[in-house]
Amino acid sequence: MRSLLFIPGDSPKKLDKGMDSGADALILDLEDSISAENKDIARKTALEFLKANRGAAKRPRLLVRINGFETGFTDADLDVIVQGAPDAVMFPKAEGGAAVVHLDAKLTAREAMHGLKEGSIGIVAIATETAKALFLAGTYAGASKRLQGLTWGAEDLSAELGADANRDTQGNFLDPYRLARCLCLAGASAAQVQPIDTVYVDFRNNAGLRRECEEARRDGFTGKMAIHPAQVAIMNEVFTPSAEAIARAKAIVAAFAAQPGAGVVGFEGRMLDRPHLAKAKQLLARIAAPR
């Protein structure tokens, strides 16, 4: 998933428009963009949307961001939206692998109630929204086969830390949030799931968005969350490997295949070792995987 677009779960008009946004995934939001008074409406609207679009031949992946455990709304969310068989739920304020195990059990019970195959609904966890969560970012490995990705957030974390801001005057993240970003990336790598970069809130600043996408790709993230449809095209472009990169990866794999058992091969005037082969294979696996 190169681009994951947030859409308020209580807006049928915005949800319908999201289907034509070009995003690889839509995140039907039941959390931050929905007031407590509108939670029931959002659940019902999201369920209707899932039922109407789940079987479409060509569609983005459909995720639902539920409310975190601390809100008391999680069970009510799952009671409704599991009926619509979303591709995954986005788990906010996740605090490590144990929390994912807990959510897995809740999903398993409801899948059985609605005749769904066990494990059919995945989990994408937001791994950095509380101070406690930062210390647990390395505990996701092996927690659940449902876990598909880790992402991170700065807004809730900055509120918990009591910070005045999470970015400097040039729009760059400050140190506490750079740490959260790194922990998310390392946690996803350790768990062997997709690392997904956080939102870029200045949605009219295309140059800033492109720069942040390119920095994320450089460091190892393979997708990013969007808050506006106008951001999707840039995300898809940046996180799609170029033809040159694909050709180079194939050539590296071929070079190692031509010398079975070699730990190091010569390539374009450089000596490449096994980590270069692993990186090339990862890129090729990404382009082969369905979005």
State the Cα–Cα distance between residues 276 and 233, nearest whole angstrom.
29
* Check whether domain 3-238 has CATH 3.40.190.10, yes or no: no
State the Cα–Cα distance between residues 232 and 67, nearest whole angstrom.
25
Higher pLDDT: 153 or 242? It is 153
Q: What percent of the chain has pLDDT over 70?
A: 99
Q: Where in the chain is the domain with CATH 3.20.20.60?
A: 3-238
DSSP code per residue over 200-248: -S-TT-HHHHHHHHHHHHHHT--EEEESSGGGHHHHHHHTSPPHHHHHH
User: Helix H segments across 73-147?
Assistant: 74-81, 97-113, 131-134
> Residue 233 burial by CB count (10 A; 0-12/13-18/19+): exposed, middle or buried?
middle
| Mean per-residue pLDDT, 233-246 | 90
151 pLDDT above the threshold of 80:
yes
Residue 156 CA from chain centroid, whole number: 17
| Mean per-residue pLDDT, 80-106 | 98
| Mean per-residue pLDDT, 163-169 | 95
Give me the chain's average pLDDT, please: 94
Residue from 7, 8, 289, 9 nearest 149 by CA: 289
Q: How confident is the model at residue 57 (pLDDT cuts 50, 70, 90)?
A: confident
122 pLDDT above the threshold of 70:
yes
174 pLDDT above the threshold of 70:
yes
State the Cα–Cα distance between residues 89 and 81, nearest whole angstrom.
9
pLDDT digits (tens, 9 = 90+) for 18-36: 999 999 999 999 999 999 9
255 pLDDT above the threshold of 90:
no
The reported pLDDT for the residue numbered 290 is 66
Q: How confident is the model at residue 60 (pLDDT cuts 50, 70, 90)?
A: very high
Residue 4 in contact with residue 225, Cβ under 8 Å? yes
Angle between helices 274-288 and 243-257 (to 10 degrees): 130
- Partnered with residue 25 across adjacent β-strands are 4, 61
- Partnered with residue 271 across adjacent β-strands are 266
Contacts of residue 131, defined as CB under 8 A and 6 or more positions apart, other chains included, come to 157, 160, 161
The reported pLDDT for the residue numbered 291 is 66
Residue 147 in contact with residue 122, Cβ under 8 Å? yes
Q: What is the DSSP code (8-state) at residue 35?
A: -
For residue 255, count other CB atoms closer than 10 A to its CB.
18
Contacts of residue 217, defined as CB under 8 A and 6 or more positions apart, other chains included, come to 238, 239
209 pLDDT above the threshold of 80:
yes
The reported pLDDT for the residue numbered 262 is 78
| Mean per-residue pLDDT, 178-192 | 97
State the Cα–Cα distance between residues 105 and 94, nearest whole angstrom.
15
261 pLDDT above the threshold of 80:
no
